[in-house]
Structure formats: C-alpha cells, structure tokens
Structure 1
Amino acid sequence: MYSPKELGLKVKKAREHRAKRSGQDFSQKMLAFKIGETSKWVQKLEKGQFYPEWDALNLIADTCGVDIEFLTEEKFESEVEYEEAVKGGYVTRRIEQEELYL
C-alpha cells in the first residue's frame, strides 16, 4: 500500500477514466454525490490528506468503473487487510452499512 498522496492521485485518475469513458465531465462534486460524501471530502482525498475507509474506497472503484486493485495496487481479501495496510494513517468517518443502500 502506498501513501495517501499516491492513493489520491489514483482516485483522480479513476475519476478521469470515468469521464473519458462516458465522454462527459465527471467532477469531484459528481463523484461526491454518487458516493454520498461532500465535494470537499473528495478534494481532500485527491490531495492525499487521508486514507478513506474500505467501503468508501469500494464505492469509488465501482462508481468510476475500475477495480479496487487499480486504486490500491494490491489485492486485499478483506477490510481487515486494508485497515492493517493503512494502520497509522488517518481514516475518515465510518460509513454505516445502511448508508450503502440509500
């Protein structure tokens, strides 16, 4: 697992990948809306200020049409493995299971 800054760049590339594939702009604000976060949250993520929690990272991957491995450059079998990899890094709030289906 690499630094939050490198992860942020990968999230930006994933967002740009979606825009290129669809032929339409896909802004930070649009990504934020799709994953239930604020545009400021996405902006901070892309600047590499924190590691997102596992569920948020999966939502970003799904929304942008990339594999989670594209974002992490590692194959994590579980949330626990991801949390161990980013231990010591700053993780934002936890997304409750119910929020994933709103």
Structure 2
Amino acid sequence: MYSPKELGLRVKRAREHRAKRSGQDFTQKMLAFKIGETSKWVQKLEKGEFYPEWDALNLIADTCAVDIEFLTGENFKDEVDYEEAIKGGHVARNIKQEELYS
C-alpha cells in the first residue's frame, strides 16, 4: 500500500481521470456525494492525512472508473495469491480427532 500522501495523489488523479474521460468537472464535492462522504473528507484524503476504509477505496475506484490496484499499488489479480489468502496458506498436517484428546 502506498503512503497516505501517495494514496491521496492517486485518488486525486483518479478523480481527474474521470473528469477528463467525461469532459466535465468532477470535483471533490461530487466525489464525496457519490461515495457518501463529505467534501472535507475527500479533501483530507487527497492531502494524504489518513487511510480510508477498504470499502471507501473500492467506491472511489468504481466511481472514478479505475482499478483498485491503481489506488493501492497492490496487485490483486494474481489468482494464486488470492486463493492462498482465502485458504489461509498450506495445511502443514491434519490432526486426527483422537489426537485432540490425548
């Protein structure tokens, strides 16, 4: 994950990207309305003052039509790593029921 400052710059770039694609301004206030936050919240985020919740990052990515990877700097497309994370890693060994009580 990027530093809060870099994340803030990425959010601003994503917002500007949406504006450029649509040919219309897309202000902090407009982004805030779309994601259910205040314009002050978006302003602080773009200044790099904090990390938002994961859900907010996903909403920002969707609203601005960018990949979440653009905002976070993480690669979530690697199926193996994702599957590994869901499973919790490799099973070292299975414990038999009788071992639990011995």
Give the TM-score normalised by the residue count of structure 2.
0.73
Letter in 2 for 1:46: E
Count of matched residue positions in the alignment of Structure 1 and Structure 2: 78
Match of 1:11 in 2: 11
Letter in 1 for 2:75: K
Match of 2:66 in 1: 66
> Once the two structures are superposed, what CA deviation does each residue of 1:52-74 show, in whole Å capped at 9, x if it has no partner?
00000000000000000010111
Stretches of structure 1 lacking an aligned partner (at least 5 in a row): 81-102
Runs of 4+ in 1 over 6 A off after TM superposition: none
Match of 1:43 in 2: 43
Letter in 2 for 1:16: E
Return the alpha-carbon distance in structure 1 between the equivalents of residues 69 and 2 of structure 2.
12
CA displacement at 1:75 relative to structure 2 = 2.4
Letter in 1 for 2:26: F
Is 2:55 the partner of 1:55? Answer: yes
Which has more radius of gyration? 2
Match of 2:23 in 1: 23
Match of 1:34 in 2: 34
Stretches of structure 2 lacking an aligned partner (at least 5 in a row): 77-81, 86-102
Letter in 1 for 2:49: Q
Return the alpha-carbon distance in structure 1 between the equivalents of residues 11 and 67 of structure 2.
11
Give the TM-score normalised by the residue count of structure 1.
0.73
Return the alpha-carbon distance in structure 1 between the equivalents of residues 46 and 29 of structure 2.
12
Match of 1:97 in 2: none
Return the alpha-carbon distance in structure 2 between the equivalents of residues 4 and 29 of structure 1.
20
Letter in 2 for 1:32: A
